[in-house]
Chain A
Amino acid sequence: MADPEIKSYEPHHESQSAAVTESRPARLALMAVAFTFLGIFLLLPLIIVFNEALAKGVGAYTQSLSDPDARSAIRLTLLVAAISVPLNIVFGISAAWAIAKFEFKGKAFLTTLIDLPFSVSPVISGLVYVLLFGAQGLLGGWLKAHGIVILFAVPGIVLATVFVTFPFVARELIPLMQEQGNGDEEAALSLGANGWQTFWYVTLPNVKWGLLYGVLLCNARAMGEFGAVSVVSGHIRGLTNTMPLHVEILYNEYNAVGAFAVASLLAGLALVTLVLKTLLEMRYGAEIAATRGH
Chain B
Amino acid sequence: MTTAPAQAGWRFRQPSVIPGFGLTLGFSLAYLTLIILIPLSGLLWRSAALGWPEFWAIATDRRTIKALEISFGTAFIAAAVNVVFGTLVAWVLVRYRFPGRRIVDAMVDLPFALPTAVAGIALTTLYAPNGWIGKLLMPLGIKVAYTPLGIVIALVFIGLPFVVRTVQPIMEEIDKEVEEAAATLGASRFQIITRILFPGLAPAIVTGFSLAFARGVGEYGSVIFIAGNLPYKSEIAPLLIVIRLEEYNYPAATAIAAIMLALSFVMLLVVNLVQAWSRKRYG
Contacts and interface: CB of A to CB of B under 8 A. Distances in A.
A195 B16 CA distance: 13
Contact of B214 (A119, A190, A245): A119
Interface residues of B, number: 102
A30 B91 contact: yes
A59 interface: no
A95 B28 contact: yes
A5 interface: no
A73 to B, nearest CB: 12
Contact of A227 (B24, B116, B131, B183): B116
B220 to A, nearest CB: 4
Interface core residue of B40, B131, B189, B219 (most chain A CB under 10 Å): B40
Interface string A30-67: 11011101101111111011001000000000000000
Contacts of B140: none
Interface in B10-41: 11-14, 16-21, 23-25, 27-29, 31-32, 35-40
B245 interface: yes
A227 B220 contact: yes
A176 interface: no
Interface in B156-183: 156-157, 160-162, 165-166, 169, 172, 176, 179-180, 183
Q: How large is the interface on A (under 10, 10 to 19, 20 to 34, 35 or more residues)?
A: 35 or more
Contacts of A275: 106
Given A22-B189, A41-B157, A128-B42, A182 B18 contact: yes
Does more than half of chain B's interface fall in helix, strand or loop, or is it mixed? helix
Interface in A153-205: 159, 162-163, 166, 182, 185-186, 189-190, 194-195, 198-199
Contact of B40 (A41, A116, A223, A273): A116
Nearest to B21: A102
A29 to B, nearest CB: 11
Interface in B100-159: 102, 104-119, 121-123, 125-126, 131-133, 156-157
27 contacts: A10-B97, A17-B176, A19-B180, A20-B180, A21-B95, A30-B96, A35-B92, A38-B107, A41-B160, A42-B107, A42-B160, A94-B31, A102-B21, A103-B14, A104-B12, A104-B25, A120-B40, A121-B220, A122-B221, A134-B250, A138-B45, A163-B39, A182-B18, A220-B113, A227-B116, A266-B117, A275-B106
Q: Which 10 A-B pairs have the closest CB atoms?
A: A224-B115, A121-B218, A226-B221, A104-B13, A195-B19, A227-B220, A128-B39, A19-B183, A270-B113, A45-B122
Given A19-B179, A49-B118, 18 more contacts: A19-B180, A20-B176, A38-B104, A42-B110, A45-B123, A48-B125, A97-B20, A103-B14, A105-B12, A119-B268, A121-B220, A127-B253, A128-B40, A138-B45, A186-B18, A227-B238, A244-B116, A293-B112
